[in-house]
């Protein structure tokens, strides 16, 4: 919304808005170019573990490389836009345990529990009446913010200002009805709106190269922190900290002292230290306060906050999640998985042996049964580079049972538009070739098809391959051993599809 132009160049109203907490809180909406941007230092990029669904191959080429969603910082932007909604796909869903993203009000509750100061009266309202009561309690100008897991709140009209309780009620009513990027708001956060003297950026995330958490502070908050890092590196401070030692405040002081002085040092430490401790305590991948504002009266408050918890850490922090009202079954994804994908997940969950399932739906005609991990990435690329049209991505590996493989085969063959399937993996170590062969043949036969006709290619070399190849030969399935590369095998499958 606002460039950091000289105040003189700005209209009075713009300048005024900047100086108020609410204005900055949602401000970057129209300004922030939304791309998944790098944080200041290449090595400080957080790893997010989220899974989202896939689009159809035909949409891939059309897809913009960045998405305008309006976010409040590059770090946030990198995350906010990720998995939560995908306007280009009808098939959004998590493939596996997604990252748990907290709403702003939940993030703030967590921060407040650890002593982080919030704007006066910060509370969630679920109705216009509740908003009126909260605003009346604040007794002054308020900001009302839509609680959605989507960027672009400000731009979409999800952040409004009110001078009194009646205006607040009216604003809440508008916001509660407003759907943003397909998200219905969970509620409206009502907070006091106060004049701001200075904005900071504060974030804690993982540095995958250093393998340590890193704290990042900038005295140019509220705007694109990456841009700050590039253009004004002297306005960015960073410090790593230990995961073994208890967090010690001197680390926070070292960070803050690079950018602040006087009483601001201790005031800022009271935000940095709790944020670092929360990050460690709750298995977070991102904890961010942006903007962190110094108000005109000299006090500091967290204007906006963003917390993401790693899926793997979720079970350890069940108590906290319960207290915050986050249900065990809340995936925080924009839309439910497709039936095809749910069925795939159910097949995989049916028994604990190996992996077979975890499908992601595409619109193509060639069903894929491809090995998990790197093999499937390689094979998916290979199919596409031959001009193939995949109907799905899937994972198969470990030592899945024959029944599981057969069920996956049936599922993929039952998907409308699927003409043939290709069964391909890298040279396998701990998957038995004969078991996979038996499973896919069983699945094809049970679907009422001829394996020799439906299976475009079978390329899984490795343990028990002779037994597998014998079986495939019996059913007239084209197979190949390790002398045929993954790329070539994919090419054969695609060629068959084109002939069919």
**Which parts of 183-212 interact with another protein (CB under 8 A)?**
206, 208-209, 211-212
Stretch that binds another protein, among 58-66, 267-275, 407-415, 441-449 (CB under 8 A): 58-66
Rule CB under 8 A: is residue 36 a binding residue for another protein? yes
Q: Which of 3, 7, 16, 43 binds another protein (CB under 8 A)?
A: 43
| Measured distance CA(216)–CA(218) in Å, rounded | 7
d(CA 268, CA 256): 7
For the bound state, the minimum distance from the C-beta of residue 22 to another protein, rounded and expressed in Å, comes to 29
φ, ψ (nearest 5 deg) of residue 295 = -80, 170
CB of 60 to another protein, least distance (A): 5
| Token pair in block for residue 413 | 């063959």
Q: Is 51 in the site for another protein (CB under 8 A)?
A: yes
Site for another protein in 126-165 (CB under 8 A): none
Please report how close the Cβ of residue 100 comes to another protein at its closest, in angstroms: 12
Give min distance, CB of 82 to another protein, in A. Answer: 3
Q: Which stretch binds another protein (CB under 8 A): 61-69, 100-108, 293-301, 468-476?
A: 61-69
**CB 393, min distance to another protein, A:** 6
**By the 8 A CB rule, do 224 and 213 touch?**
no
Q: Which residues pair with 370 in a beta bridge?
A: 424
Query: Segment 237-256, which members bind another protein (CB under 8 A)?
Result: 242-244
Helix, strand, or coil here: 239?
strand
Rule CB under 8 A: is residue 213 a binding residue for another protein? yes
Interface with another protein in residues 291-350 (CB under 8 A): 310, 312-313, 316
Among the listed ranges 163-171, 196-204, 216-224, 369-377, the one in contact with another protein (CB under 8 A) is 369-377
Instruction: Choose, by CB under 8 A, the member of 430, 446, 474, 476 that binds another protein.
Output: 430
Q: Which residue has the tokens 């969630």?
A: 124
- Tell me the closest approach of the beta carbon of residue 295 to another protein, in angstroms: 33
Is residue 487 a contact residue for another protein (CB under 8 A)? Answer: yes
Give the separation between CA 433 and CA 415, rounded to whole angstroms: 25
Element (H, E) at 413: helix 402-414
> What does DSSP say about strands 159-162 and 142-146: parallel, antiparallel, or unpaired?
antiparallel
What is the spatial distance between Cα 204 and Cα 437, in angstroms, rounded to a whole number? 48
Q: And the tokens for 461?
A: 């070399």
By the rule CB under 8 A, 58 interacts with another protein: no
Which x/- pattern, by CB under 8 A, does the window 373-412 give for another protein? xxxxxx-xxx-x--------x-x-x---------------
Region near another protein per CB under 8 A, out of 156-164, 174-182, 217-225, 420-428: 420-428
Closer by beta carbon to another protein, 338 or else 378: 378
DSSP 441-483: HHHHHHTT--HHHHEEEEE--BTTHHHHHHHHHHTT--B--TT
SS3 343: helix
Q: How far is CA 291 from the centre of its chain?
A: 21
Does 466 engage in binding with another protein (CB under 8 A)? no
Q: How many residues does this entry show for the chain? A: 500
Find the shortest distance in angstroms from Cβ 364 to another protein: 12
Structure-token pair, residue 232: 């004004």
Cβ-based nearer residue to another protein, 142 or 360:
360
Is residue 284 within a helix (H) or strand (E), and if so which, with residue range? Answer: strand 284-295
Stretch that binds another protein, among 109-117, 148-156, 279-287, 412-420 (CB under 8 A): 279-287
Q: Which residues 443-462 are close enough to bind another protein by CB under 8 A?
A: 461-462
CB half-sphere exposure, 369, CA atoms < 13 A: 35
DSSP string, 194-251: -BEEEEEEEEEEEETTTTEEEEEEESSTTS-HHHHHHH-GGGEEEEE--SSSPP-HHH
């Amino acid at each position: 919304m606002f460039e950091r132009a000289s105040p003189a160049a700005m209209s009075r109203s713009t300048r005024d808005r900047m100086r108020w907490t609410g204005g900055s809180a949602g401000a970057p909406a129209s300004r922030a170019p939304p791309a998944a941007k790098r944080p200041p230092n290449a090595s400080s990029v957080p790893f997010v573990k989220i899974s989202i669904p896939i689009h159809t191959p035909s949409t891939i080429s059309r897809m913009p490389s960045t998405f305008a969603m309006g976010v409040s910082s590059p770090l946030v932007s990198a995350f906010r836009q990720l998995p939560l909604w995908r306007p280009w796909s009808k098939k959004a869903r998590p493939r596996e345990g997604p990252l748990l993203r907290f709403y702003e009000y939940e993030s703030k509750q967590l921060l407040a529990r650890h002593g982080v100061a919030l704007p006066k009266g910060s509370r969630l309202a679920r109705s216009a009446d509740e908003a009126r009561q909260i605003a009346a309690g604040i007794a002054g100008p308020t900001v009302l913010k839509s609680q959605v897991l989507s960027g672009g709140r400000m731009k979409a009209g999800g952040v409004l200002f009110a001078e009194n309780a009646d205006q607040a009620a009216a604003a809440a009513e508008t916001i509660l009805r407003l759907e943003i990027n397909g998200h219905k708001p969970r509620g409206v956060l009502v907070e006091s709106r106060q004049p701001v003297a200075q904005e900071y950026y504060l974030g804690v995330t993982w540095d995958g190269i250093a393998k340590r958490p890193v704290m990042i502070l900038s005295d140019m908050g509220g705007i694109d922190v990456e841009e700050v890092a590039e253009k004004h590196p002297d306005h960015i401070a960073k410090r790593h900290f230990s995961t073994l030692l208890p967090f010690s405040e001197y680390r926070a002081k070292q960070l803050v002292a690079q950018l602040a002085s006087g009483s601001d040092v201790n005031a800022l430490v009271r935000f940095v230290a709790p944020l670092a401790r929360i990050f460690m305590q709750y298995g977070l991948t991102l904890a961010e306060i942006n903007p962190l504002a110094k108000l005109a009266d000299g006090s500091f408050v967290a204007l906006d906050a963003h917390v993401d918890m790693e899926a793997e850490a979720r079970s350890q922090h069940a108590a906290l999640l319960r207290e915050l009202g986050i249900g065990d079954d809340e995936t925080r994804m924009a839309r439910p998985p497709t039936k095809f994908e749910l069925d795939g997940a159910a097949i995989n969950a049916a028994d604990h042996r190996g992996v077979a399932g975890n499908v992601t739906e595409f619109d193509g005609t060639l069903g894929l049964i491809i090995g998990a991990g790197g093999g499937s990435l390689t094979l998916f690329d290979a199919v596409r580079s031959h001009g193939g049209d995949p109907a799905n991505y899937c994972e198969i590996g470990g030592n899945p049972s024959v029944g599981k493989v057969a069920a996956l085969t049936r599922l993929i063959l039952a998907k409308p538009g699927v003409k043939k399937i290709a069964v391909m993996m890298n040279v396998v170590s701990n998957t038995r070739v004969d078991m996979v062969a038996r499973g896919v043949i069983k699945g094809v036969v049970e679907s009422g098809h001829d394996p020799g006709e439906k299976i475009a290619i079978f390329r899984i070399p490795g343990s028990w391959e002779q037994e597998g190849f014998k079986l495939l030969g019996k059913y007239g399935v084209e197979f190949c051993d390790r002398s045929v590369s993954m790329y070539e095998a994919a090419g054969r499958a695609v060629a068959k599809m084109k002939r069919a």
